[in-house]
Amino acid sequence: MIKRTLFFGHKCALTTKYEQLVIKLTDRETTVPIEDIGFIVIENQEIYISIPTISKLSANNVSVIFCDNKHMPQSMLLSLDAHHIQQEIFRNQINASEPLKKNLWQQVIKQKIKNQEKHLELVGIHNSPLSYYAQKVLSGDTDNREGAAAAYYWKHLFNFNFKRERYGNYPNLFLNYGYIILRAAIARALSGSGLLTTLGIHHHNKYNAFCLADDIMEPFRPLVDAKVIQIMKKYNEQKLTTSIKTELLSILTETVYFENKKSPLMVGLSTTTSSLQQCFMGETRKLIYPKLWN
């Protein structure tokens, strides 16, 4: 089932009644079943949200994303009790061996580079070295094929001189916003699979509560890049407007393709995170990533 994404950019009050999210605006009131919601983005600094509402949203594994005074996503609400055997999963994740984590990271980077190669082909760049880089990724990516692939990818993706930087020039801001939304979706799926988002397989930062989300999202990044290119063609705008934010949020409903099924991204992510959980539980050693384009 595709869950709804709600974006709140104007002042309102969010409360709950009878398992419904009650949205109170100045001139009207509306309700949405909480079980239908997957993501909520709270952008306006004057929005009121009650504690019982936060509790019910968390219990239903709704990712609530709070924005700062510059309208950029800053923090996120996630459930800490989303799986019936959570303690066992946590224990296995914490005790995962280094060889397993290095093998998982190798799979992540191989898939990321393959997806970057496919995206370059879609924008007309053929015969890139990325296929070769993907084949040469070692356990743990110890010789940094990811970095070599990224250097080529960003140099050739746009038809102008571009440098990928967090605080860089247009369209870096669009990419940042899309990646934050993707990160939130991955974190929600990881939480639903009973995994600790803090404990990464490669990313390690004591200040980062979402290291595992940062790991698993890597192969999905080209989906954001493709959306940004679509936006650049559609809008003659370099500022992050509400319309562009809405377009970036639509990434969550993009179709992705598994071996025997296709699904919206927000649904398909659970297949990937479930396969990761099974790797930690010793049931398999293979991560399941979808094709981003058929």
Quick: pLDDT tens for 19-36: 999 999 988 999 999 999
Take residue 19 and report the two structure tokens written for it.
Answer: 């398992």
3-state helix, strand, coil in the chain (%, to 5): 50, 15, 35
| SS3 label, residue 13 | strand
- What pLDDT score does 166 carry? 87
Partnered with residue 4 across adjacent β-strands are 37
Is residue 82 scored above 70 in pLDDT? no
Is residue 183 scored above 90 in pLDDT? yes
DSSP state of 219: G
The number of C-alpha atoms within 13 Å of 185 and in the hemisphere containing its C-beta is 31
Give the amino acid at 174: F
| Residue 250 near residue 264 (C-beta atoms within 8 A) | no
- What pLDDT score does 84 carry? 63
Is residue 83 scored above 60 in pLDDT? no
Largest CA distance in the chain: 60
Environment class of 68 (CB within 10 Å of its CB; exposed 0-12, middle 13-18, buried 19+): exposed
Task: Report the DSSP pairing between strands 255-257 and 262-264.
Answer: antiparallel
| Residue 269 near residue 186 (C-beta atoms within 8 A) | yes
| Residue 3 near residue 266 (C-beta atoms within 8 A) | yes
Task: Report the DSSP pairing between strands 37-42 and 4-8.
Answer: parallel
| Residue 203 near residue 215 (C-beta atoms within 8 A) | yes
- What pLDDT score does 243 carry? 94
Residue 274 to residue 97: CA distance in whole angstroms = 19
- Say which CATH architecture domain 86-280 belongs to: Up-down Bundle (1.20)
Take residue 94 and report the two structure tokens written for it.
Answer: 């914490």
Residue 241 to residue 181: CA distance in whole angstroms = 15
**Would you say the CATH fold of 86-280 matches that of 4-77?**
no
pLDDT (tens digit per residue) in 120-151: 999 999 999 999 999 999 999 999 999 999 99
- What pLDDT score does 76 carry? 87
Residue 200 to residue 105: CA distance in whole angstroms = 10
Task: Kindly state the helix (H) or strand (E) to which residue 153 belongs, with its residue range.
Answer: helix 145-157
Instruction: For residues 23-50, give the mean pLDDT.
Output: 95
pLDDT (tens digit per residue) in 231-253: 999 999 999 999 999 999 999 99
Take residue 123 and report the two structure tokens written for it.
Answer: 């924008």
- What pLDDT score does 3 carry? 87
Take residue 163 and report the two structure tokens written for it.
Answer: 């440098």
* For the chain, domain boundaries: 4-77, 86-280
Q: What are phi and psi of 15, to 5 degrees?
A: -130, -175
Environment class of 128 (CB within 10 Å of its CB; exposed 0-12, middle 13-18, buried 19+): middle
> Which of residues 106 and 82 earns the better pLDDT score?
106
Q: Percent of the chain, pLDDT > 90?
A: 81
Rounded mean pLDDT of the chain?
Answer: 93
DSSP 58-102: HHTT-EEEEE-TTS-EEEEE--S--STTHHHHHHHHHT--HHHHH
- What pLDDT score does 189 carry? 93
Q: Which fold has domain 4-77?
A: Ribosomal Protein L15; Chain: K; domain 2 (3.100.10)
- What pLDDT score does 70 carry? 85
**Radius of gyration (C-alpha) of the chain in whole angstroms:** 19
